[in-house]
Structure 1
Amino acid sequence: MLRLFVGIELPESVRQALSLVREEHPAARWHGPEQLHLTLNFIGSVAPQVAEQMARALEAAPGPAFALQVEGVGYFGSPEQPRIFWAGVAESSPLRVLQRNLETRLLPLGLMPDERPYAPHITLARVRQGIPLQAWLQRYAQLSLPAFPVEHICLYVSRGGAQSVHYEVLQRFALV
């Protein structure tokens, strides 16, 4: 079984800029710059033959290239018990259209639709227990990076477990 998701690969300059918001804390596991991405559709565990079918569906799926801008930071969980620290992206109609189109193509192949509305974000850290949050949020609330072109999407595989996860690009699909 392969644990898959579809995402946007970030340029090196964006990954390096985002790595600067890291703050050492024993409860936070920060993603390394090489692991930063923006998830479009989480697929989950599928058999290799289903992964191949999904890859074929993605070849025909993409739409036009567009620009995306990283903006602001936030968290999932409560202020007392944050679970995920993330960087946000500026509102983008092309991003939302792409995400919905991909979901539509992948649903017949076994993608389980997410009950929550799509909330585009770049996971920066996973938190094992509550840590002081307000200072970090205030420090990076105005985070704004230059827009970057999104010219392809990727099918990723997630390898590893609870202690260490590694994301690997299986295939890239050009946006035209």
Structure 2
Amino acid sequence: MRLFVGLPLSTDVRAALGALNGGIVGARWIGDESLHLSLRFIGEVSNGDERDIDLALQSVRGHPFDVTLAGVGAFDRRGRVHSVWAGVDKPDALKALHARIESALVRAGWEPEHRKFKPHVALARIKNGAATDVARYLETHAGFKAPAFTVAHFTLFESHLGNGGAHYTVLQDYPLSL
């Protein structure tokens, strides 16, 4: 099974993100039901490892906090854009939660994540999008701002890869409480 830790998004936030769909030729837009904010990709694990991950995540503590998605951006590889995303306004509390999750997983024996955490919600995957389309999209939606939502828990998801993109199953929610 392929696992990651993330935040599910409220209906109104998903609706606001859905309004960003379109305008880039060659983009594969992520469906409403699959939108989420990733906190930590874990990867392929065996069934026995799932229990260890669950125990590690149960140890994560914190207070609920609000998050606002704002702005858009793109990730590229060797100068070619491969995805567009919505960013996070004032991400400090989210970064602190990520650090606590990362620490708990490393203490449980998982390899540390080597990429810097950049909180975002992926909106589309792009294979052969025109750079002008992407630049125009980013300029058009630069002022994007979604309704704030409260993060009162985080979630362990299983990712199912398929021809139509990834689909996710909630395995466990972990409340933020001290």
Per the normalisation by structure 2, the TM-score is: 0.91
- Whole-angstrom CA distance in 1 between matches of 2:61 and 2:83: 29
Task: Report the more deviating stretch, 150-159 or 22-31.
Answer: 22-31
| Equivalent residue, structure 1, for 2:100 | 101
Determine the structure 2 residue equivalent to 1:167.
168
In structure 2, the partner of 1:48 is 47
Range with greater deviation from structure 2 (76-85 or 28-37): 76-85
Stretches of 4+ moved more than 4 A in 1?
A: none
Alpha carbons 2:12, 2:147 under 8 Å: kept: no
Provide the C-alpha distance between the structure 1 equivalents of 2:127 and 2:166, rounded to a whole number of angstroms: 15
Q: 1:97 to 1:80 in 2, by over 3 A?
A: closer
Contact 1:11 1:148 in 2 (8 A): yes
**Percent same amino acid among aligned pairs?**
37
> 1:144 — aligned with what?
145
Q: Give the match's secondary structure for 2:143.
A: coil
1:116-161 deviation digits (Å, cap 9, x = unpaired): 2110010001111132211111110000122111111000010024
TM-score, normalised relative to structure 1: 0.92
- In structure 1, stretches of 5+ residues that fail to align are none
After the TM superposition, which residues 22-61 of structure 1 pair with which residues of structure 2 at under 5 Å, given as runs?
22-23=21-22, 25=24, 27-61=26-60
Q: CA deviation at 1:35?
A: 0.5
Higher mean alpha-carbon deviation, 77-86 vs 102-111, is at 77-86
Match of 1:8 in 2: 7
Report the secondary structure of 2:21's partner residue.
coil
- Superposed CA offset, 1:77-122 (max 9, x none): 0696210110000122221111011101101334332222110010
Structure 2: stretches of 5+ with no match in the other structure: none
Tell me the secondary structure at the aligned position of residue 133 of structure 1. helix
Contact 2:25 2:129 in 1 (8 A): no
Q: Which residue of 2 aligns with 1:114?
A: 113
C-alpha RMSD of the superposition? 1.8
The count of residues paired between Structure 1 and Structure 2 equals 175
